[in-house]
Amino acid sequence: MFLKKINGYILAIVSGLVLLAGVLLLVLQWGNGCDFSLYGKNIRVNTGVVILCAAIAGWLTPKVFRVMLKGIAKVRKVRREYKKL
C-alpha cells in the first residue's frame, strides 16, 4: 500500500514536470519563426505552431493506426466469409 502511494506520487510529479517542460518550450518558442516545407512548398511558420502540430500528430497517430488495424481485420473477415460461400 505504501509503495503504491509513493509510486503514485512519483508518477504524478514526473508527468507534471514533463507537461510543464512542454508548455514552457511552447511558450518560449512561440515568437520564433522557421521555414517549413509542406509537400514541396516552402512556407514561413511560427515555431509554436510546428510544436503544436507535432504534439497533435503524436497523439493522433496511434489512434489512426488502431483504426487502420480494425479496417484490415474487417476486410479479412469479409474475405473469409466470401470464400465460404
pLDDT of residue 85: 73
pLDDT at 71 (0 to 100): 95
CA distance 48 to 27: 7
- Tally of structural domains, the chain: 1
Please say if the pLDDT value at position 84 is more than 80. no
What range defines the domain where residue 79 resides? Answer: 2-84
Grid cell listed for 45: 511558420
Residue pLDDT, tens place only, 30-83: 888 888 888 888 888 888 888 888 889 999 999 999 999 999 999 999 988 888
